[in-house]
Amino acid sequence: MSTQPQEYQAPVWNEPVIMEMGYPGRRGVVFSDVGPDIESRVGPVADLVPAGVRRRQPPALPELSEPEVLYHYLRLSQQTLGMMGVSLFGTCTMKYNPQVNEELAWRPEVTEVHPHQHEDTMQGTLEIVHNADLVLREMSGMDQFVFQAGGGAEAAFTNCAVVRAYHASRGELEQRDEIITTIQTHPCNAATAAAAGFKVITLMLDENGYPSLDALKAAVSDRTAGLMVGNPDDMGVYNPEMKEWVRIVHEAGGLCFYDSANFNGTMSKIRPREIGFDACMFMLHKTFGAPKSGVGGPAVGAYGCSAEVAPFLPAPLVVQDGERYHLDYDRPQSSGKIREFFGNVPVVLKAYAWVRSMGAEQIAQASDLSVLGNNYMEKGLLAIRGITRSHPDATSPRMEMTRYSVQTMKEETGVDVHDVLNRMSDFGVDPAWTSHEPWLVPEPFTPESGEMYGKEALDLWVAVMQRISDEAYSDPQIVKTAPHHQAIHRLRPGVIDDPDTRAMTWRAFRRKTGR
């Protein structure tokens, strides 16, 4: 580990909020007149709007020329670290978003197609969606995928809707009102189950890092609608008893959903269906190489299930009939829609393109590399003073992530995890992911090396942590006052939550500050 981290300086543009910019009368876009024929035929605009609902005051938007707007947002993009250095954001599987996939997804055959076009005019789109379905079936063992969910959480919600429809079809929905999950399964599973109307039973971990079989057995009953679980979990811990879990839940009459958010380390190694799961979900914007877009989408949670569950999927499904492809809306047992139309087609295309670029061998290698990279980093990180990992006594290697803690560092130096994260960015490294709530491990951080980065980048990341630890133990103020080289300093504690100061819009900000 001879890598010496170099300090980085973010662009400091002091860019004003756009609401403060501009000059009255400037225009960023104009529209050609309707012309005299239309004007004389339909009359003035004012006469076409009922008087009571006409806008009286123009919206107080800025008035700017086109380049002023463009360069404002380009400067803002420069003030976003955004993986320009190294970003190992755990549970998000940062990986390369191939430029060719972006280029293909921005062709007019994708961007300028309307979802209500006749299927004769979008056979290409439907073929790509179907092809994506086929490769995901092969990777999961499932029988049918649907792409309607605009993200992983929405795919979890899809599962809840499908589970409702499944039990309703058997007349058991009123009785089966409980969903079982685990504390280290992504929060969206518990949240969507609750929003779908289920009672949520959350199993806690035992000393091995996953809940015990006894805890599961105590939770299942004739009220069990289903299980929603990630494996490996958000700490890179794989539950080896999962086959037995599935058997127990099935025996109780529930359906089993595998949240494959953390699939990167297990792809090619396992198939969720072969373990017994009825349904699973893949993040096309993580595992399959499409951008996460600021952990915000547009994204796709591809939801796949067994033939037994497929009748309950939200319509439409893309189906092949000989040489042609159709959107199948005729699905009488369908759960109802999760989102309008049939999915974020550009993201589906990018995922399919990623699979075709990789092929089976390289997909297997990607999972190898992500687990190799994580264990390689673990060796380096655990040698750093003040850093420990969760479940230190569990001897088997972690999968593609490891949950660490700087609790020791905090106790010995006063430097907490947010201090560390802020200091990381001074070296051009994106702050690491901490942990979902609740923090079972105090002062947590969770890197995920993925398969994109080379050994040098992983070494740099570890070296940055080493440097920060050295600083924490020698001159902690450097870390506690970080960042020193970012576009802005840290926010004043509390200002964004205090009702007197928090402001989600410029107009709220102006009112609260009297500006």
Q: Hey, which residues between 423 and 452 contact other proteins (CB under 8 A)?
A: 425, 430-431, 433, 436-437, 451-452
> Of 110 and 213, which has the nearer Cβ to other proteins?
110
**In this structure, which amino acid lies at residue 202?**
T
> Minimal distance in Å, beta carbon 388 to other proteins?
18
> Of 421 and 478, which has the nearer Cβ to other proteins?
421
Site for other proteins contains 81 (CB under 8 A): yes
Identify the H or E element spanning 497: none
Site for other proteins contains 170 (CB under 8 A): no
- Look up residue 492 and give its DSSP letter: P
Site for other proteins contains 515 (CB under 8 A): no
- Interface mask (CB under 8 A) for other proteins, residues 205-234, using x and -? ------------------------------
Alpha helices in 332-396 (DSSP H): 345-382
> Minimal distance in Å, beta carbon 229 to other proteins?
14
Site for other proteins contains 108 (CB under 8 A): yes
Site for other proteins contains 137 (CB under 8 A): no
- In a 3-state reduction of DSSP, which class is residue 513? helix
- Look up residue 311 and give its DSSP letter: G
How is residue 142 written in tokens? 């499932």
Question: CB of 291 within 8 A of CB of 353?
Answer: no
Half-sphere exposure of 17 (CA within 13 A, CB side): 9
> Minimal distance in Å, beta carbon 317 to other proteins?
14
Site for other proteins contains 505 (CB under 8 A): yes
- In a 3-state reduction of DSSP, which class is residue 460? helix
Half-sphere exposure of 107 (CA within 13 A, CB side): 11
Site for other proteins contains 63 (CB under 8 A): yes
Q: Which residues of 172-201 are buried (b: 16+ CB within 10 A; e: fewer)?
A: ebeebebbbbbbbbbbbbbbbbeebebebb
Q: Which of residues 305-344 bind other proteins (CB under 8 A)?
A: 314, 335-344
> Minimal distance in Å, beta carbon 6 to other proteins?
17
Of 184, 192, 116, 180, nearest to 151 (Cα)? 192
> Minimal distance in Å, beta carbon 237 to other proteins?
8
Among 227, 318, 372, 468, binds other proteins (CB under 8 A): 372
> Minimal distance in Å, beta carbon 390 to other proteins?
14
Half-sphere exposure of 435 (CA within 13 A, CB side): 23
Among 125, 159, 224, 264, binds other proteins (CB under 8 A): 125
Site for other proteins contains 383 (CB under 8 A): no
Site for other proteins contains 376 (CB under 8 A): yes
